[in-house]
Chains A and B, each alone.
Chain A
Amino acid sequence: MAAGPVPLLERRLLFVTGKGGVGKTSVASAIGLLAAQRGLRTLVCEVDAKGNLADFFGVGPLRFQPTEVREHLFAMAMDTEESLKEYLRLQLKVPLLAKIGPLASTFDFVANAAPGVKEILTVGKLTYEVRERNYDLVVVDASASGHVVGQLASRVAIGEVVNAGLVGSQTDWMIELLTDPATTGVVVATAPEEMPVTETLELIGRLKDETEIDVAAVVVNRVLPELFGRDEEAIFGTLRADGAAALAGAVGPGATDVLDAADLAVGLRRSRAVHLARLREGLPVGLPVLYVPYLFTRSHGVRATSLIASSLGEELGF
């Protein structure tokens, strides 16, 4: 084992996952943007049916065919039916659509009945792009709580469903890429709150126990700034208790609102600190943890993406 984990942007395929709403799409798009800014030809792919990745790049709806959203940066939306067609065309040399007509029309059905199929087509497409070196980095906005990862990283899960046929025989090279830490890593997005932290610890445990896929980093999103150090907190305490009237006298009637807002911030920060501590304690030693601040911005979308990209850049020492 080499010393230390493989640096984030030196990998080729990153799955960004995490609990619903923590900021998976924000983080995935920011990693993509950061990589592109650093000159890597990057593809960001959304696997989720939600379809809001485009909002984070400020572009129109995404399709299976990648859209160039800026220099070096491409974005696409996974569509397993399209992926199947491409697969048949490229891998199996099955000549034409005509032959898969009935299959395509009932495709959803087969794919739903046998979960492995959809995932193989998804991961198949992603690993294919990596194998063919079409991009330096592929970032996946994966579904919540590691559903995709959990199923695909394990040999057993794949073998369980499809163990023969061409799809079966094609999974070997996919597994090889997926389980190589120099190639593939999972990025777990989380927030300093109870449920996201608990789920993150559980997910990382499961990835370790049940799969051979490497965890590349944990990104803690929405970290509130620390207003005061300990001494200053005491000063704030007296200001609050004994100085409110004097402050109002000095600066006007807004003093109460401003102090109340500081109270709110201190309270939120404090309750979150507990969860942060629990996270740090529970994570495996040596796993990189990157912090992204809570954004006090007006606009979201591409502006937020670029802010998150620069804080990730700072965290990575760029």
Chain B
Amino acid sequence: MARTGARAADLTLEQLCSAKEVLVSTGSGGVGKTTTAAAIGAVAAARLGAKVLVLTVDPARRLATALGLEEFGNVETRVPDEAFAHVEGGARGELWVAMLDTKQSWDDLVARHAPDDATRDAILANSIYKNLSGKFVQSHDYVAMERLYEIHTSGRYDLVVVDTPPTRNAIDFLEAPDRMADFFSSRLLRWLIAPYRSRVVSFASKPFYSVADRILGTQFLEDIAEFFMLFQTMYDGFVERARAVTTLLGGPQTSFVVVSTLEVAPSREAEFFLELLSDRGYHVGALVLNKVLPDLLLSTDGADTARVLSTDADAVAARLAPGLSTAAGPVDPAHLAHVLAEVGTNFANFAVVARREAEQRAELSRTPDLCLTVPWFDDDIHSVDGLLRLGEVLWR
């Protein structure tokens, strides 16, 4: 591994899963956050005698089907033991899965915090709320963290592995609880509500109103004001929860697993995120490098052979063809030469990418002690077996 400095000699994913109660899988879009979270959950359930929940966001359809999520969605569901039929001695623990439904989770949240049924119904019917809960991208991050908190404090699981949504910016979800608290304590909130309360618009907010009114229209402002007035009744509950969620994320029971490929853009984002997490004092348990090309592409023998094949395929083919035949009969040397040339070019092509990946990996400076590499499988992972196969690669 291209990494210097002290390194806990035999730190493994097993230790991480045993020591922590919450693992958060994060990274750039499409790198394999969901797959990694599910694979860690599956292997932890198989190998440890633990009750594990994987809280996923938007899994690939076939994976969702394999885990029974298509049917159950937001509800926590146990993956049947039969799914672990290929594990020697069967699964030692239990694997549970749930999918995050943003809208549903928001509605539950409102129901929990609303002081009475009338307020709850008014909020659920407010057009701004519908927009906020359904479309507002960042609300997804908040509700994911909120749901995690609720599940963790319920004490139902030994380990919760959380998948994160493909945020535009990997830190969004970390800041979501704080932002949500700010949201409700903002000065603007008071301004917006003021005229509907007292009809006396303060001097400071007057220009704001005249402009906002012209730009957005009165109806819109009224909707927003109504929304915030209703929401204010839940202010204390929300802010308190947001703090608790922040505490959980930064606490000793939580660790982050940063997932990345070794492509340029995702690596840069991973690097940025690793730095940010450790600067802010979060525990980074592992870096998972996913879809990595195999080391054989770095072989110098291979490179030499590839060069010979690309330049001298005809001669090699002439030597080999007599000894080979297919179902269709003897092998035509010209055909074989083409195959050999392609094979040589292919190696040279992939070797370029593999070398770049190796460099990229060496450049990742602040990697955590546990740096795991997962190969680029030649098919998507869409079954519990596939997850376990990947999980075993991580577990070793």
Contacts and interface: CB of A to CB of B under 8 A. Distances in A.
Interface of A: 19-22, 25, 48-50, 52, 55, 88, 92, 94, 98-103, 106, 109-110, 112-117, 143-144, 147, 151, 160-168, 193-196, 198, 225, 227-228, 231-232, 234-239, 242-243, 246-247, 250-255, 257-262, 264-265, 267-268, 270-271, 296-298, 300-301
B1 interface: no
Given A50-B169, A250-B320, A106 B188 contact: yes
Given A234-B328, A238-B331, A261-B297, A254 B302 contact: yes
A113 B296 CA distance: 52
A231 B220 contact: no
A181 B313 CA distance: 51
Contacts of A260: 294, 296
30 contacts: A22-B30, A48-B168, A50-B168, A52-B268, A88-B211, A102-B191, A113-B183, A114-B128, A114-B216, A116-B131, A147-B135, A162-B217, A163-B217, A164-B220, A165-B214, A165-B217, A165-B218, A195-B30, A196-B30, A228-B339, A234-B328, A247-B316, A250-B316, A253-B305, A257-B299, A257-B302, A265-B346, A268-B376, A271-B379, A298-B356
A236 B302 contact: no
A252 to B, nearest CB: 6
Q: Can you list the 5 inter-chain pairs with the closest CB atoms, starting with the nearest?
A: A20-B29, A165-B217, A164-B217, A254-B305, A21-B30
Interface string B203-245: 0110110111111111110001001000000000000000000
Contacts of A106: 186-188, 191, 208
B308 to A, nearest CB: 5
Interface stretch (B87-95, B104-112, B153-161, B347-355): B347-355
A232 B339 contact: yes
A106 B62 CA distance: 44
B166 A144 contact: yes
B376 A258 contact: no
A293 to B, nearest CB: 10
A254 B326 contact: no
Nearest to A121: B215
Contacts of B220: 114, 161-165
Interface of B: 28-31, 60-62, 127-128, 131-132, 135-138, 166, 168-169, 183, 186-188, 191, 204-205, 207-208, 210-220, 224, 227, 263-266, 268-269, 293-294, 296-297, 299-306, 308-309, 316, 319-320, 323-328, 331, 335-336, 338-340, 342-344, 346-347, 349-353, 355-356, 376, 378-380, 382
A121 to B, nearest CB: 10
Contacts of B305: 251-255, 257-258
Contact of B326 (A102, A165, A238, A252): A238
Contacts of B306: 254, 258
A265 B136 contact: no
Contact of B304 (A252, A297, A300): A252
A114 B328 contact: no
A39 B328 CA distance: 53
A264 B342 contact: no
A160 B132 CA distance: 13
B323 A264 contact: no
Given A19-B29, A165-B220, A196-B30, 10 more contacts: A100-B208, A101-B207, A235-B339, A246-B320, A250-B319, A250-B320, A254-B302, A264-B378, A267-B378, A300-B263
Nearest to B214: A166
Contact of B346 (A227, A255, A297): A227
B342 A235 contact: no
A257 to B, nearest CB: 3
B338 A296 contact: no
B352 A298 contact: yes
A231 B220 CA distance: 67
Contacts of B297: 257, 261
Contacts of B28: 20-21
